[in-house]
A and B are shown apart, each in its own frame.
Chain A
């Protein structure tokens, strides 16, 4: 692995720490309400829980500026939320409503792109968030803009040829691009030891001549520090970085998947490292917030999500008469 000298750990002001906690708590609340809704039979089609990924999606997302671009995947709800996709628009998308981000054209979190917020929609072929994000980065280089693009993917997608192709391209072109690989140890039912021979993805960076960093994906401040360092290096012309954030997928691949193939002891080991609960405990222990403050954040988040669900369930379906619109851009 290329040895990089990390930049100074960015110090987070208390207000920033509470902001991180808010986004993580909002993401978790959204996720829990969504899972409950589906269990009640009120969902449409399938959906994907990101439970356990909050520190990654929020920590990495928070390291970017508003002019930067993200190409997330289905476990990055926190990134979508903090960049400004409202819970209403996302929930309406989950329920296939006209008010959803894709107006009923794409399912659950797929394709919830919004160029005004610098978000690319992803496709089910997960490795494609890599070249798409790289393309955004290359447009910044082309126009001499001090902007950075970030792609997110998983351990499974790291086996695809496109993963290699994109890292190679990014390195050759010295692109202002950061790749976050969320290693949650399972690709659907396939555990990491059946996915790769050399466990660990960060060390592949050396083969491309770029920095690779592994980080505890359940520690939001650690993720933020590592990703912020990578983002600023890219912004300064230092090229791409591969960040491997290690975590655990706490629920199934998708809502239908009971994930009986995951050993209970593995889940138990990671349950005590719950990123949201652990950060709350840390904020309390460090005196950054009191319990009342954290409870207030939790109440706010619950209210927001309940509003989003009510909005989505009451909002109209897309009109079939519009089915042919938008196949082509004008």
Chain B
């Protein structure tokens, strides 16, 4: 990781999320939180909102009954009236319970009748934590496929805060996939003061001319580890962190491909019908002449996320698998 100023502003990924929420709630009285168990000193299953009710009150930190479809729909109604609700789902895996409220009601309201829905749905996603099939999913592809939504997936503490602020300030429904495996294991510099990371802009986390690894979320760090190893073998990689999945930063993707001519797309979500296919299709259509090899994808297997460590490890891409795939592609 590049050197950052030593101003004491090193936060964990999850602390950056809490900080974003706290600062934005102080700045904007229209921001409120909804979710199960988020109130009181309990402060949520992952403690993101511990102390929030004491500071902001129960009116702005709404502990909800167990009713994702209902409270997400209610949040959409609040957003139509100009409030900025941030819904916390306890695990992304429960987002399917809220599906109709997001994709049928909220996503197309502005297109159909000018009803803007400035709502954020925070979805604690991803696995590698031995949490089993219903506490480990990555469902971003479902939502990228829905017109009217924006979808983001930060991979660093600075981006976790900056993208959450952008999401809250955006006047559209934004699905914010936060990465559980990065919560407390990843620390990074977070700028002081008000800043935001624009939705729709990827970030080049590493530069190199030989091969592009395009990725997002926790796999960014596996990709960077693989890229460091590849560099020792004189295979220099661009590692592009998409950060926003919808809208995709097409120019950043194509610009990297035109430079390296070899592409590996990596994500933790299942490979079949995952976003790697969309990125590969985009490249095939718009950068075919620049390619010196097939666009390869590396994602989870087409299975539910298994629980037992040897099974979950076999299911997920990791630095070793990325290294092997990139090395063989570099030699194509």
Q: In the complex, are the beta carbons of B74 and A169 less than 8 A apart?
A: yes
Chain B residues with a Cβ closer than 8 Å to the other chain, count:
41
What's the least CB distance linking A201 to chain B, in Å?
A: 18
A:271-330 near B, CB below 8 Å = 326-330
Q: CA of A131 to CA of B81 in the docked complex: distance in angstroms? A: 13
The answer, yes or no, to whether B71 is at the interface (CB within 8 Å) is yes
What's the least CB distance linking B173 to chain A, in Å?
A: 10
The answer, yes or no, to whether A210 is at the interface (CB within 8 Å) is no
* Residues on B with beta carbons closer than 8 Å to the beta carbon of A120: 77, 80, 115
* Residues on B with beta carbons closer than 8 Å to the beta carbon of A162: 69-70, 73, 100
Given the contacts A115-B115, A121-B109, A121-B115, A131 and B70 also touching, CB distance less than 8 Å: yes
Q: In the complex, are the beta carbons of A123 and B105 less than 8 A apart?
A: yes
The answer, yes or no, to whether A165 is at the interface (CB within 8 Å) is yes
Q: In the complex, are the beta carbons of A142 and B70 less than 8 A apart?
A: no
Instruction: Pick the contact of A135: B79, B104, B171 (CB < 8 A).
Output: B79
User: Chain B 100-115, CB within 8 Å of chain A: the 1/0 string?
Assistant: 1100110001111111
- Residue in B closest to A326 when the chains form the complex, CB atoms: B111
Q: In the complex, are the beta carbons of B80 and A131 less than 8 A apart?
A: no
Q: In the complex, are the beta carbons of A329 and B116 less than 8 A apart?
A: yes
The answer, yes or no, to whether B252 is at the interface (CB within 8 Å) is no
* Residues on B with beta carbons closer than 8 Å to the beta carbon of A329: 110, 116-118, 171-172
Q: CA of A134 to CA of B74 in the docked complex: distance in angstroms? A: 6
Q: In the complex, are the beta carbons of A327 and B110 less than 8 A apart?
A: yes
Q: In the complex, are the beta carbons of A102 and B81 less than 8 A apart?
A: no
Instruction: Pick the contact of B112: A105, A142, A169, A172 (CB < 8 A).
Output: A105
Q: Which of A45-53, A55-63, A106-114, A190-198 contacts B (4 or more CB under 8 A)?
A: A106-114
What's the least CB distance linking A207 to chain B, in Å?
A: 14
Q: In the complex, are the beta carbons of A125 and B69 less than 8 A apart?
A: no
* Residues on A with beta carbons closer than 8 Å to the beta carbon of B100: 125, 128, 162
Q: In the complex, are the beta carbons of A165 and B76 less than 8 A apart?
A: no
A:118-138 near B, CB below 8 Å = 120-121, 123-125, 128, 130-138
Q: CA of A49 to CA of B309 in the docked complex: distance in angstroms? A: 59
What's the least CB distance linking A287 to chain B, in Å?
A: 43
Q: CA of A123 to CA of B114 in the docked complex: distance in angstroms? A: 14
The 4 lowest CB-CB distance pairs between A and B, nearest first, are A135-B77, A131-B73, A165-B70, A329-B116
Which residues on A are within 8 Å of B, measured CB to CB?
69, 71, 101-102, 105-106, 110-115, 120-121, 123-125, 128, 130-142, 149, 161-162, 165-166, 168-169, 172-173, 326-330
Sample of 19 further A-B pairs with CB below 8 A, known A142-B32, A162-B73: A102-B112, A115-B115, A131-B72, A132-B76, A133-B77, A134-B77, A135-B75, A135-B79, A136-B77, A136-B78, A136-B81, A139-B83, A140-B81, A165-B71, A166-B70, A169-B64, A327-B148, A328-B171, A329-B171
